[in-house]
Structure formats: C-alpha cells, structure tokens
Structure 1
Amino acid sequence: MSAPAASAATAATVVTKVPRIPPSNFAVLLRRSKFASYDPQIGQIYTTYDGSAHRGDWGLKRPLSVRRRDGRLIINSVDTLYQQTEWTSAYSDANVVRKFEEIGVTPQPDRKGEWIRRFRMDNTSSQPEDGTRRPMKWMHDSDYARAKPEDVKLDIKTYPPVPNPDSMKPKRFERYLRRLRRLVPEFQEYVEKRKTVDARLSRHHEQFLGAKFLESCKENPNFIHPMPHPTGGLAYNNMNELQSAVSAKPIPGRRIYLEKQTTNTLRGKMNVALGGWVGREHITLKEGAKGKECPVPLTDAGTKGGEPRRDPDAGKDVFRPLSMGCFLYSAPNVVGKYPQRIQRAVLKMQVVSWSDADKARSNPHKPGTVEYVKHKERQQNPQQARPVVPYTDRPRSSFAAYKQLQRTPPKDDAIPSALLNTLQDTIWKTPRPDPKNK
C-alpha cells in the first residue's frame, strides 16, 4: 500500500471515532429516579425493592424512614419549608386489587351511580340517533371475539362522555362557558325535537352536550376518547358464578348491627364487616319476634364505660359475597388539586352466610381434589355398586365378556346429567341480589 493511501485510511478512521458527548449527571439521575413522574395533582403510589428498600431510598431528595420491602407510599410534598418530605402510607390502597381477587367478586357499575356516566361506550355497538351510547362489553382477556354491531345487546342506557368542569382551570372554564352560551339556540331546537320523542326524559342537556362532543371526533378516526376502566381500577378479574364458587374461599366476618327491620314482613338488613369492607346481608326474623331482640347475634363491642366484651365470639360467621351483588356507585377522583384516596369509593356489596352452606351441599370439598373423590366414594349407594361376579359364573372368553357387558348398557344422558348436577351443587343456590335493595 502506498503512503497516500495509508494516510487517507488513517484519516477516515479518525473521523469515524469521534467521541460522543456524554449526558449530564443530572439527566441520568432524573431519568432513573421516580421524581421524574411526580405530580402533586395525580394520586400516585410509590414503592421500592431490594437494597433500595433496606436503605430507605425511594428515588426522592432524601431517604425515608420506611424500610419495608412491601411498603407503599403517597408523596404529598417532596420538599417543604422545613426541608422535610411529607408522605402517607398507602398500603391498604395498594391491596384493593388483591382483596377483590381473594373474595372472587367482580364489581359492576351501578345503573343509578355516578361512575356509569363516565363509563366509556363501545364504538362498535349500534347507537341510536339521539346520541345516547351503551356500555362496552368486557371482551378483553376473553377467548371470544368482539361482538358484531347487530349482535350487541343494548341493555343499559347511558350518555356519552362530556368535558368535566370540575377538573378545568378558571381560564379554561371561562372559555367553556362562552362556548356553551353560543350553543343555546341549538339546544332549544334540540329540546323541541326531543319533546315529541320522549316527554318523560329530563336529561336533555346531557344528551345534547354528548352529541356535540361526538360531532367533533366523527370525522377524525384517530381522536382519543376518554375510556376509563369499567370499575375504576378497583378490580381486574372477571369471574363468573362458578369460578367464584370454586376458586374463592369464604371469608370470616362479623355482623355489626341491624340496619333496617320491617315487622310486617319479618325481614331485615344486617351490615357485615369482612375483608376490610362493610357488606349487607338480608336476613329473615323469626315469627313472633316483634319487640324482641334479633335472633342473629351481633358483635359485642363493649360499653361506653370501658367494660370488656361479654362474648368475644358473638357475631362471628363465615360469609361469601354474591358474585353479582357488588356494585360501584362512585369512584374516587384521583386527578385534581387534592386527589382522593380509596376511602372515597362508594361500593354496595351483598353477602350471604356460608356457615350452613357446606351442610346443604352433598360434597363440600373442591371439585378435582383428593378429598372430593374420597367423599364421593364414601357417599356412594351400596345398592348401586357393581355386584361381585362369582368365579364360576364368569365368562371364559373375551366375546362372552363383551356380551355380558352389553346386557346392561349405560344411559347416554347419565354422564351429562351427573355433571350438571355436580356443577349446580358446587355453585349452591345462593339468593340472587335484589335490584330494589342495592
């Protein structure tokens, strides 16, 4: 290789090996720290793991005194005037999803609640001309495909999403008011048209604002719709009644107090505390119990004078929430100047006593387990067992044995009917939730 060629190759090599400018230490620290996602107007829960949890390093300005590996915190202020980091424990808030998985209940939006108005509707379902839209089916995490528009059942009538005035700043709220004032003539015309369709409808303003909101995104298919979780993120399991009866275990709880009592029908409603929640149990009073105490024992919490409990076991029982008896009325508002916590969620839960359920079932064990099979063998009727064939009467050839088996052929519907009876016995006929008593 000649000298000019060697010098050219060396120059090219020098040009390609230009050192890159390293990022600043502050940028690297900010990218790896959780402080980059901190926003005081968004309710967020922070956690840390392994050695960072042992040292109290939460990715903030200074280490905290919380040294638990499973700690959950809400950071109220990163740095105050007194150079302190204000935080609040959020351990119970973070375990809400785990609680619903343990009790085996999937909350449903209450038809009369506030959360159903924010519930995002399905774009694939057929919609009427008045602008009302229906809730989206839970087709995610499912083995079935999305239903076709003509096959969707329109069961719950709700309204499309509208801008939330509570989350607007003053200037944006003023612009929103000026926009609404310009829509007054159109709203009056809209009300006149709706009078002939349904005179009993009293929420014309919600339908009108929802229709105007959808008009701004009909031409643009990439418009982002607000689509909150059906249960506000309280639960991510979608279990049916059979799955809840098989996988979930009954939970111990206490009967707190009798809420309502009707002497005419001898029925009442009992509030029950279980799993960190307060559910409602429908009970039936004994005949002739007018003016007497409730036959169901209540929890003895002592007296105001400080006397101990007379019976610590009073009011204890084992309960199971109804799979279709948990309703979400309103969810906490986690975005705002003062984010709300899980305590602001309003749930309506119906429970049933499970202490006598195992006695009513022929096999109280879980299907598929060794205890379940052994129990079925013990409870088998001796008259239905296969008789023992004497040695002298046994067939001597395989063809004769086949003929002997053909004499008593099994019924075709024996296995399906037995399977259905087993599944029905597993679920156990629990009382259905009454919509009037939610």
Structure 2
Amino acid sequence: MTVDHVRSLSSGINQTGVRAYNERLLLSVLQRNGALPGGELARRTGLSPQTTSVILRKLEQDGLLHKGVPVKGKVGKPSVPFDIEADGLFSMGLKIGRRSADLLVLDLKGEVRMQLRETYDYPMPDTVFGFLERGYEDLMSALSIDMRSRMCGLGIAAPFELWNWHELVGAPPAEFAAWRDIDFSAEAARITDLPVHQVNDATAACRAEHVFGMGREYRDYVYFFIGAFIGGGIVLDHAVFEGNQKNAGAFGPLPVPDVQGKPAQLIDLASIRALEVRLEADGLDPRQLWQTPQDWSHLEAYVQPWLEQTADALAIASVASCAVIDFEAVVIDGAMPATCRARLVEMTRTRLSDQDLRGVIAPEIIEGRVGNNARGIGAAAGPIISQVLLNRSAALLGALLHKLGSERTSPFPGRTYPTGSVTGMPRAV
C-alpha cells in the first residue's frame, strides 16, 4: 500500500466536522469518570434527561459510545450505562526523544494498539521524518479499513527548542542546528496528510497522565517526567496549564544544590543522562538503558546512587514548586523500569520529610501510571481532544470563565453558563 493510498483512507472521520459543545461535554465526562447511565450524566452536566438521551443516541450511532449491561436497582427500570467506544476514534502520536523516536496508534480509551520505535545516538531531521514516513505507511497498512477511516490526526511531542540541546545529546552543533529551520507540522502534514498537533514533549507526558492516568484523581499537581533529561507539567483546577509560550513546567533549569551543596540545575541531577554519565565513566555502553523491554537489574551498582541523587533533587524541587502554588500532589513518572520508578517515588517521599517545610503544605508524592510511553500517548491525545473532547487547557478555560463570570449570559442566546460541576468541568450550554 502506497503513502498516497493511505492518505485517501485517512480523512473519513474528519468529514463529520467539529462536534457540538454538549456532545463533547458528555464524552469528556465519560472519559474522565467511566461508564455512567443517562440520568447520572444529565445530573452531572445540567442537561435535561431528554436532551441527554438524544445526544447519547447520536453518539452511539456515530460509533463513539456503546451501551453497557443494564444494572438493576431497587426501584424502577434497570439503568443502562454508556461508555466510550474504544474503536470510535484513533490517532497517531510521534514522540521525538533525545535517544529514540516512537510512533504509535492510540484508541479513544487511551490504549496503544500498535507501536514502532527507532533508536539513535541523537535525533536528526532526516532520521526522524524518514522514520515517520516508513512507520506511517506500515501502521496504516496494518489497520482495518474502518480503523483507517477513523484516524483523526497526528500529534507530535518534541523537546522545546530542540536545537539547543546539541551539547547534552553529543550532537555536532552545526548539524544539529538544522532543527531550528524545521516546521514540524508542515513536514508531518506532507508525509501523512493528517491534521497535525504539536506539543512540548514533557507537557505531552503530563497530558497523558492527566487524561488517562493518576491525574484524574487530583485537582492541582506538579508532574515530573524523567527521560534522557527532565521535564514536566502543571495541572491547575483539573486542567493542564501550558503557559504563555507553551512551555510551563520546564523544570530542567530549576536551581538545586548537588550533594556537595554546590549550585546545579535539576537537569544535571535528575535525568537519565546523569545515569548515562556514570556508565560512560566506567566504559559501559549507555545505550543499554534504552533497550526494550527495559531491564536495569544488572546495573544496580550505578542505578542505586543515581536514584538517591535524583530523589534528593526532586524533593528540593517539590518544595520549591509548592512554595509558589500549594499543589496537593507531586506525580513522578519516567522512561525507566517500573521497579525503579517505584523506588524513586518512595525515596523522594523520604527525602521530602527531611526538608524544611515551614510555610509549605507538604504534597503527596505519587507514582505516575502511564510510564515510558507517556510522551507518545500525550501527543496522540491531542487530535482526539481536538475532535471530540473539551479542551481542558487552563489558559483557554480561564479566559472563558473570566469573560463569562461565575453566572453570566453565555455566547449562546437564552442560555447561562454555570461554573463548577462535580466533574470539574463547565456545565452544558
């Protein structure tokens, strides 16, 4: 199957256009809370039962929802829960990392259906977009015709100002500067002919955790993702806050002292690159850290001191973050084996208790659930959110709520826009 043939099959879902606000609201409530009956959906959104029923039938006909098994109650008819249909929509996510690139297919429930990976010493445009071109054709060819018709877009997660990282990834400066002139969206659209959404890689990881992982359970939290370097994200009032320049949560430059108390940055201490340096010092190949499946058990002599150093730095960074905003939690995830992540979280909890917390409310230290694939999943979530879910960007919602006030006339004549529902989302209009 040629790329042109793949393109011709990938535009079906886009013909349905942008979904109405109330359709997005119901889908968003179900995505965040799981299966619910129509009556409960009406109560949570403020829609009338009749309107809710009409919308649910339409979403079911469009293949975005399915009915569950009726649940018998004490009185009246059994309630029928509705849930997201996993096959209702698909998207692709391209993660451009410092050591590898991933291309994956994500379904509407956040499950990765297929995935390809390419490793390298450092990323270059020809390598990355060559991988995208080959991988896109391979993945689309492996999908059924119906799945291809429901492919809604491609999300790209890449480091902010990638060209500035040449020294840390060991790339020739002159060659690596080629990234400065690359238009990610234009290159990807040329290859795939899909709508393209670009996001900072660490923000993408935060989005994945927020939409599909631990983030559903907390209102405000800091998110740290430890990859080759460290980045993260910020969630405020149940929404990922991207910032004015789309770079909020860029924790790498955060000043923290090293073990000798000398000034350093979080990126120097709490990143897998710091573990690579330990291996290189003893003549070991650092590329073994990125092999799949990941297994670092034979490197315990290097991993343990690295985890201790990282936990110390994260504890300090957590206090600094909570001194600005009283986050209720700090979520830690990363491109590492799950056993290492669990150890790191426990160590960070211990180190946090040793910090001077006067004037600061200590946050919970929580282990992320999404793991190594968070950046690719977060990238792929972008097109899905654009097509069928409410855009829970704190910046966009904040501007809207500021304009509307707590109970003012909405942009829709004859309607009001009450804020603050039990779902953490605006109510129906």
More helix by share: 2
The structure having more radius of gyration, on CA atoms, is 1
Which one scores higher on RCO, CA 8 angstroms, separation ≥ 6? 2
Fold-level similarity (TM above 0.5): no
Q: What TM-score, normalized by structure 2, do the two folds share?
A: 0.23
Q: What TM-score, normalized by structure 1, do the two folds share?
A: 0.22
